[in-house]
């Protein structure tokens, strides 16, 4: 632990060993444990595992909450609307074809990218030791207000 003064606040202790951000993000995108990159990160579609079955890293600390959904909307929206505007310029499709095509693409994209995005968010939190990853207390103990059954 190292004491660090952040923006004039009283010094607080932060872990001195840094975690690599890019491998954690990459492992999260692959839906793998951000620490070892081998264990599965999800037990079902959007439910993360409690503990990595390969390295025993506790995953239940994450608080991805609504961030994966917001990121998913932003990414899917930009791609679908961008493709719509691009094709609308060059092709004359009937409104029913357009509604069917773009709605189906939006639904399919949303379903396909939600899990990797959530994995990316969990990797981000793990690498930055957020929400109990790596100890949240002053002495390195885990955050006591984290209920593992509450956060999926």
Distance CA 13, CA 139 (A): 8
Residue with tokens 């959530």, as numbered in its chain: 118
Of 24, 27, 35, 68, the one binding Zn ion by CB under 5 A: 35
What is the x/- site pattern for Zn ion, positions 42-61, by CB under 5 A?
Answer: ----------x-xx-x----
Q: Which is nearer to Zn ion, 64 or 122 (CB)?
A: 122
56: left (phi over 0), alpha (psi -120 to 50) or beta: left
Distance CA 104, CA 16 (A): 48
> Least Å distance between CB 33 and Zn ion?
3
Residue with tokens 């491998």, as numbered in its chain: 23
Q: Which is nearer to Zn ion, 36 or 101 (CB)?
A: 36
Element (H, E) at 124: helix 95-127
Piece of 26-34, 59-67, 89-97, 128-136 that binds Zn ion (CB under 5 A): 26-34
Q: Which is nearer to Zn ion, 13 or 40 (CB)?
A: 40
What does the binding site for Zn ion look like in residue numbers (CB under 5 A)?
Answer: 33, 35-36, 39, 52, 54-55, 57
């Amino acid at each position: 632990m190292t004491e660090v003064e952040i923006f004039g606040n009283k010094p607080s202790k932060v872990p001195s060993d840094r975690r690599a951000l890019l491998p954690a993000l990459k492992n999260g995108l692959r839906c793998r444990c951000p620490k070892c990159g081998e264990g599965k990160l999800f037990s079902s579609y959007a439910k993360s595992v409690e503990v990595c079955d390969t390295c025993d890293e506790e995953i239940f600390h994450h608080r991805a909450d609504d961030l994966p959904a917001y990121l998913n909307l932003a990414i899917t929206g930009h791609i679908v609307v961008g493709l719509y505007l691009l094709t609308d310029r060059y092709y004359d499709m009937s409104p029913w074809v357009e509604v069917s095509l773009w709605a189906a693409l939006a639904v399919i994209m949303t379903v396909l990218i939600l899990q990797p995005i959530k994995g990316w968010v969990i990797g981000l939190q793990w690498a930055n030791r957020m929400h109990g990853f790596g100890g949240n207390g002053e002495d390195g103990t885990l955050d006591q207000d984290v209920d593992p059954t509450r956060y999926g």
